[in-house]
Amino acid sequence: MTTDDHWQQLRAEMPVARNWAYLDHASVAPLPEPAAEAIRDWCRDAVENGVCNWSRWRAQVEQARKLLAQLLNVPTSEIAIIRNTTEGIGLVAEGLSWQPGDNVVVPAGEFPSNLYPWFNLQSRGVEVRLVTPHPDETLEEAASRVCDSKTRIVAVSWVDYATGRRQDPDEWCEIAHSHDALLFLDAIQGLGALPIDLSTTPVDFLAADGHKWLMGPEGAGTLYIRQERLNTLRPLGVGWNSVRHAGDFTRIDLDLKDNAGRYEGGSYNMAGIIGLRASLEFLARPGRTAVGERVLELQARACERLEHAGCVIQSDRHPNRSSGIVGFAVPWLDARDVKRHCQQQGVVVNERGGCVRISAHVWNDDSDIDRLVDALEMTR
């Protein structure tokens, strides 16, 4: 089987491709057929058998945990299965022991989910330092400049949700750790599209939703906690599933799990996690490196076609900064009108910050890019 045949096989398992040129994975991804079938199987089982096969469902939670751990190259003990990125950020923000005068350093342009949980600490005397670079400095230089001895944590997105600019997690770890601070990485716009190895990149905490580049359902995601940081956080959301003896309801001693599973509190979103497990298997077939190369290759081809059509690429396309997200301007049309027109033509794009945003995944191909360009040409 050739490389192209391999990608086309994945495309054949994407029913959305029959209806749309879908270029909006940075918003909500369509489900692969294997994920949809896994959810249907669970639903039939729940309807026909109730709780009788719960242990089979629970086993799929552990399969999802193993796949997420492999994606990050970490032990399964450092992976918690949670609902979404916001929950993960909240568990870190609320779990740290804060003192008045402590500060958080976070880029000013972050998605609100990586701002509000930190703003919510201000009533406790915690300062939120928003990083805005001076004209003569990089974002990283600005972040290092505003850190000091009172900085407890630096929080940054791996990939900017609007522009697609990719940060270097190793560089941000160095910024945080050189000031004796922790590093939190919001990975929702990178995980599933780009490779990362947390066995060598010393991120302290990471969270990601499953419904974007991981191509799972909404309501199922992951929180990574480096093992040596586990007891740095005050446990929150503690429930029957947080303890070593989970399931033995005759014991009431609070003996928390010695792994990230202590943050899983209560019952799981079984349908969402089972779908996520199947989507993770779907993405694991080509391998992490191949997925990343394919995603960047598609975006490079899209940029070339868009520029030829008269569009202006506004994302940083440097090899170390590019990602699965591309923002561009259509000089003759407002971005909101572009989004509306494209959808009428069967092309799904988005708009962020006045730019058109596209985000193709491994199963997309040149025909999707062709449909996008054709739709844009119609607006002249």
pLDDT at 262: 97
> pLDDT tens, 1-15?
567 788 999 999 999
Kindly report, residue by residue over 311-326, the tens digit of the pLDDT: 999 999 999 999 999 9
Q: Are residues 179 and 294 in the same domain?
A: no
Give the per-residue pLDDT at 4: 79
* CA separation for the pair 156, 253 (Å, rounded): 37
Residues 6+ apart with CB under 8 A from 137: 145
Residues 225 and 276 in one domain: yes
**Where in the sequence is the domain holding 274, given as residue range(s)?**
43-284
**pTM for this one?**
0.96
Domain boundary among 241, 264, 284: 284
Residue range 271-286: average pLDDT? 97
User: Is the same domain home to 58 and 201?
Assistant: yes
Token readout for 71 is 């994606």
| pLDDT at residue 215 in the model | 98
The pLDDT value given to residue 1 = 54
CATH number at residue 325: 3.90.1150.10
Residue at 148: amino acid letter: D
Query: Is position 35 within any domain?
Result: no
245 and 216 co-located in one domain: yes
Strand partners, 333: 330
pLDDT tens-digit map of 332-369: 999 999 999 999 999 999 999 999 999 999 999 999 99
Domain end: 252, 284, 316, which one? 284
- Whether residues 258 and 309 share a domain: the answer is no
Which of 222, 256, 284 terminates a domain? The answer is 284
d(CA 21, CA 100): 51
Clarify whether residues 64 and 112 are in a common domain. yes
By the 8 A CB rule, do 106 and 118 touch? Answer: yes
Going by DSSP bridges, is the β-strand pair 127-131/79-82 parallel, antiparallel, or unpaired? Answer: unpaired
Domain for residue 22, yes or no?
yes
pLDDT of 2: 63
Give 380's pLDDT tier (boundaries 50, 70, 90): confident
Mean pLDDT of the chain: 97
Phi/psi class of residue 162: alpha, beta or left (left: φ > 0; alpha: ψ in -120 to 50)? Answer: alpha
Residues 336 and 373 in one domain: yes
Residues 91 and 74 in one domain: yes
Question: What digits encode the pLDDT tens for the residues 73-131?
Answer: 999 999 999 999 999 999 999 999 999 999 999 999 999 999 999 999 999 999 999 99
Tally of domains within the chain: 2
Residues forming beta bridges with residue 104, ordered by sequence position: 128, 153
Does one domain contain both 325 and 278?
no
